[in-house]
Structure 1
Amino acid sequence: MLSVAKKFKDVFPMFKDQEIFYQCFPCPEDWEKVEKICEILEVFNAIRKIISSSDYPTSNLFLNEVYRVKMLLDKRANDEDEFIRAMIGKMKVKFDKYWGECNLLMSVATVLDPRCKMRVVDFTFSRMYSDREARENIAKVREALHEIYEEYVREYQHGNEHSGETPMHNNDDVSNNGKDSSGWSEFSSYVKSIEKASPQQSDLDAYLTESCFIFEGDPNQFNALEWWKGSTLKYRILSRMTHDILAIPISTVASEATFSAGGRVIATYRVSLAPETVQGFLCRGDWCRNLHGVKKKNKVSL
C-alpha cells in the first residue's frame, strides 16, 4: 500500500483541492517516513516471496533469510531518525522473542543444502549470537544431525535384515542351477556381503567434509531435492533422511493463497471440517497444481 501511495504522491494535493472533506493529506515529513519504511519493508517482502513459495522446498532457505532480517534490524537500530529507531526497536523485541533461540529444524535443513553445509551455520551463528552462544548452538546442530542420521542408519540396517535377500551360493549351487550359469549371481551376492559391512566413513561425515556445491545460476532456481535425487547412489542413507527433512514445508500454504483459497475451502457447508482436513485440502490442491505445472493466475487490478 505504501509503495502504491508513493506513485500517487503528486495526486494527493490535487485531490485535497477538489475534495473538501479530505483530511488525511500527508505532509513532506510523512513522505520521508514512507520512503524509509518502504526501504525496510521491501526486504521483508522479498523474503516473504522466497519463503512462502509452494513450487520448491524452502526449509533450507530459511536460515539465510532470518539472518538477513537480523542484520537489517541491527543496522537500522541506531538510525538517525527517531521514528525509525522506535519502529525497529519494537520489531527487534518480537524478533528476539521468536528467533533468540536456535531453531534446529531450520538449521539442519540448511546444512542439508549442498551449497551451504556446516559453513552456513558457522557464518550466520557467529554474527547472530555471542561467541559462547554461537559455539553452543553449532554443537547442538551437529549433535542433532548425527542423532537423526543414526536413526536412519538403524532403520536402513533393520530393513536390510528383513529384506529377504538371497544368500550367496557356493560353486556347487551355481553349477547345479542352470539359471545362475552366468556367474553374475555369485558376484552380486559377494558384493552385497561386502557392502553390508559398516563403512569407515558415514554418508554424513563424507557429505560434510566435501566442498560446498557451487551453483552458478539464480539461487532461487536451485532445487535441493532434485540435487539429492541425483546423489541417491552416492549417499544412500543420507539421501533418505534429506528427502524427509527438506520436504517439510515452512508454511502449509503460500501466503497469498491463505486468504484467497480459505473462503472457498471453508464454505457454509464445510464449517464443521477439522483443521487437519482443511489443511489436507489446501496442500492437496497445491501439490496437484505443482505436479501438472498449473500456475495460479494473478489477479489484475483495474
Structure 2
Amino acid sequence: MEDNPEVVILDEQARASNDEDHEAFCKKKRKTSSVVWENFHEITLADGTIVHQCNHCGEKVKKYKDGTTTPMRRYLQECPKLKVVQKGQLKLNAMPGKSDGASGILNWKFDMTRMREVIAHMIMVHELPFSFVEYDLFNVLMKEANPSYTKISRAMVKQDCISAYGIARKRIQKLLNLVNSCSITTDMWTSIQNIHYMVVTCHFVDSDFKLHKCILNFVEVPPPYTGIRIHDCLYECLKEWKIEKKDVTLTVDNAKTNDVVAKKLMENVSIQKKLPIDGKMFHVRCCAHILNLLVQDGLTKIKDIIHNVRECVKHVSASPGRLHTFSELSKQLQMPKKHLILDVSTRWNATYAMLSTAFEFKKVFVNYAERESTYKTLPSEEDWQKVEDVWHFLGLFNEATKVISGSEYPTSNLFLQELYGIKEAMDDLFLDERYGC
C-alpha cells in the first residue's frame, strides 16, 4: 500500500519543526569575532586538510586545532597586497600647468571623513537644512563626482556640525590661552522673534603678529535691558572663554547703557590686573556709529526734500504699469540699466543709495510727470540741486564708513585721516557762496 503524499509532507514538516526546536536548546557555535576573519576564509584542500586562505593574496595558512589566530595575525602584518589596501588606492589627477599646454600629474585619495567635514561646514556657512544631504539630486551629483561617496543622513550631518563646532572652539581656546591681552567688541541686536541678544567678538594678535577675529558667542540678554544686566551677560561670556582677565579695550556704540557696561567691566578687570594708561583707553566708542549719528543729524535739515524723493520712488513702484512706463522712458533717454531704490528711513546709507539713483533718473522723472497725471511730487530744480549736493557729500561719509568698519585689518590708523577728509569737505561747503556763507 502506497503512502499518502499529503501524510509524507506533513511528517517531513513535523520533523523539520522538531529539529528547529531541538537546535534552539543545543549549544550554538560561537561566532567568530576576531578581525582576522575579515581577511581570511576557510578552504578544504584536495587531501581533506582545512587551511585559512588570505582574501588579498591567496596565501594559505595552516589551521591549528586550538583555533588560535596568531599565525594569521602575523601574516597580515607582512601581506603585500593588504598594505596597498590599507594605504588606499591613489588616483591620478591631471592638473593644469603654468604654461600653455603644460600639465602635471598628481595622485590623490578620496577621503570620506574629509568629505563629511567639508559638507558640515557647507551646511553651517550657507545655513542649509540638515536634510540637504538627503536630497536625491545632491546624492546623484556626489556619486557622479566620485563613485566612492557614501550617502549620509540628516542626523549624521547634524552630529558632524556639532563636532566641527567643538573642534573650532578648542582651536580658538588654544589661541586665546597663548595671548596676554585681547580686545572685545559687542553690540545688541533684536531678532525677528523679538529676542534681544548680544554678539561678542574678540580681536587679538598672536605671536606671529597676525590679527585674528573670532566671534565668541551670541548671548541672549533677558529683560530688563539695563547696563548692569548687559554687563553680567558679557562677563559670563568672557569668563566662559577664560579671558575675563585679558581685556585691554571694549569697543561699543554710543548708547548710554554701554557707558555702564564699560565702567563695570573696567572695574572688574582693573582689580585683577593693571590696565595700560590706567584704563583711559579701555572704553572705545565706535567711530562708525559716531559718523552715523552725524549723518542722521544732518539729514534732519533736509528731511522734506528726502521725503519728496522717497514719495517719487514709492509712486513709480506702486504698480507694474507705472514701472513699465518709467522703464520705457529710461530706454528712450538711454539711461543706465539701474533700478530705483526705496530706502529704509533708519539707515542713512540706504537713503544715500536712494538719492544717488533718483538723481541719475532726474530727466526720466520730468518726462514721467508729463505722462502720469497722478504724479504730484516732482522735485523742483532747486530741490534737485540740493539732492545732488547731499548725494556727493554723503558719498564721503559712505566711503569713510566702509574703510573704518573693516574687521579683517587694523582701523585705528585709518579713521583719523578719513575724518580729516570729511572735515575739509565741510569747511569747503561752509565757505561755498551758494549757501550764503
Q: What range describes the TM-score normalised by the shorter chain of this pair? A: under 0.3
* Relative contact order, higher structure (CA 8 A, sep 6+): 1
> TM-score scaled to structure 1, two decimals?
0.26
TM-score for the superposition, normalised by structure 2: 0.20
